[in-house]
């Protein structure tokens, strides 16, 4: 009886040593615990890279995230549900509106300068080139203004949806 007990203890120690050796050989490190935000960011990367479910789960494993199929889809759903709120937050935090208005102001300044150059120029060919620049700049300005209207509509929709979500 005493001999069997010592033998089983020795086997257990040998098994532990062997598993440690395998871990060292494979360069395996313990998988760290990740916060929900870290999990969302890594799953978002999978979505951005348009990885299939299988490739995404392999990628997550490679990046040391213990996320299974069910958890992967739960996180994807959370990301999808928070999408509009994220857009709203990005617009507010990153000064998107200020940046967009800066672009419009720049196009308007360029357009004014083109018109000044056009009226100051006497050569017909140069006037024609300036008119082409005016035409292009006007097109850019029109597109920027259209984008502004789309941004306003989107922000109104987001505010309405966020307000509806808060009420429910």
Q: How confident is the model over 115-161, as pLDDT tens digits?
A: 999 999 999 999 999 999 999 989 988 888 888 787 778 777 777 77
pLDDT value for 54: 94
Same structural domain for residues 121 and 148? yes
Same structural domain for residues 73 and 111? no
The two tokens of residue 161 are 């949806």
pLDDT value for 25: 47
Same structural domain for residues 93 and 160? yes
Whether residue 113 lies inside any domain: the answer is yes
The two tokens of residue 118 are 């056009």
The two tokens of residue 69 are 């199929």
Same structural domain for residues 59 and 120? no
Q: Give yes or no for a contact between 153 and 144, defined as CB atoms under 8 angstroms apart.
A: no
Same structural domain for residues 73 and 90? no
Is residue 48 scored above 60 in pLDDT?
yes
Same structural domain for residues 58 and 93? no
The whole model's pTM is what?
0.42
Domain residues for 121? Answer: 83-167
How far is residue 135's CA from residue 71's CA, in Å, rounded to a whole number?
A: 53
Number of domains observed in the structure of the chain: 2
Same structural domain for residues 87 and 132? yes
């Amino acid at each position: 009886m005493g001999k069997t007990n010592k033998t089983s203890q020795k086997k257990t120690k040998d098994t532990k040593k062997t598993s440690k050796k395998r871990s060292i050989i494979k360069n395996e490190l313990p998988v760290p615990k990740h916060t929900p935000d870290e999990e969302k960011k890594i799953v978002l990367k999978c979505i951005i890279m348009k990885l299939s479910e299988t490739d995404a789960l392999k990628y997550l494993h490679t990046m040391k995230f213990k996320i299974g199929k069910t958890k992967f889809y739960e996180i994807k759903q959370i990301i999808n549900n928070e999408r509009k709120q994220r857009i709203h937050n990005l617009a507010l935090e990153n000064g998107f509106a200020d940046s967009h208005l800066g672009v419009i102001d720049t196009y308007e300044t360029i357009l004014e300068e083109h018109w000044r150059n056009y009226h100051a120029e006497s050569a017909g060919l140069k006037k024609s080139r300036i008119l082409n620049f005016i035409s292009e700049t006007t097109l850019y300005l029109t597109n920027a203004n259209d984008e502004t209207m789309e941004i306003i509509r989107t922000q109104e929709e987001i505010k309405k949806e966020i307000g509806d979500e808060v009420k429910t």
